[in-house]
Amino acid sequence: MDHPVIRFLIAGGSAAAINWLARLALSPVLPFGAALIVAQGIGLVAGFWLYRAFVFRAAGGSLRRQLPAFLGVNAASAVIVLAVSLAASAALVRGLGLTVPVAEGIGHALGIGAGAVANYLGHRFVTFAGLADLGAAR
């Protein structure tokens, strides 16, 4: 677990799992779109802590600079997650005839995957820029 890329994948995968599980827990009490947004917020908090503590852990990283950048990157990612999740779940219900809960689960997983690409690029080049070289082991 010394390689930064492995730490990034574990931290990001953990934040994504927290996001997905939170949405599962929220779906019985909130509409799908609202559950997606609240779960994204829960995953955001987990992700910031995981990335900052385990992936981009360099002394001198300013929380005051990182937090707004992290929120901006995640806002863009949340739009992607929401759009892909809603579109995919609707397509799975209409196109494949899946039940709504199954389609929402698969759609949300696809949305998280699409958002992960935006998160990686944003956090690597904006939020934690210059704090860690993900291409080299420490």
Q: Write the pLDDT tens digit of every residue in 25-79.
A: 999 999 999 998 999 889 989 988 888 888 776 544 677 777 888 889 888 988 9
Instruction: Dump strand ranges (E) for 70-116.
Output: none
Please, are residues 12 and 120 in contact by the beta-carbon 8 Å criterion? yes
**What's the rounded Cα separation, in Å, for the pair 36 and 22?**
9
Q: Which residues contact 53 (CB under 8 A, 6 or more apart)?
A: none
Contact 52, 61 (CB under 8 A): yes
The residue with greater pLDDT, 66 or 102, is 102
User: Which of 24-28, 72-76, 109-113, 131-135 shows the lowest per-residue confidence on average (mean pLDDT)?
Assistant: 131-135
Q: Could you tell me the pLDDT band of residue 86, with boundaries at 50, 70 and 90?
A: very high
What percentage of residues in the chain have a pLDDT greater than 90? Answer: 38
| Nearest partner of 125 among 56, 54, 78, judged by Cα | 56
Among 14-23, 96-105, 110-119, whose mean pLDDT is lowest? 110-119
Model pLDDT, residue 58: 59
Position with higher pLDDT, 49 vs 21: 21
Q: What is the SS3 assignment for 132?
A: coil
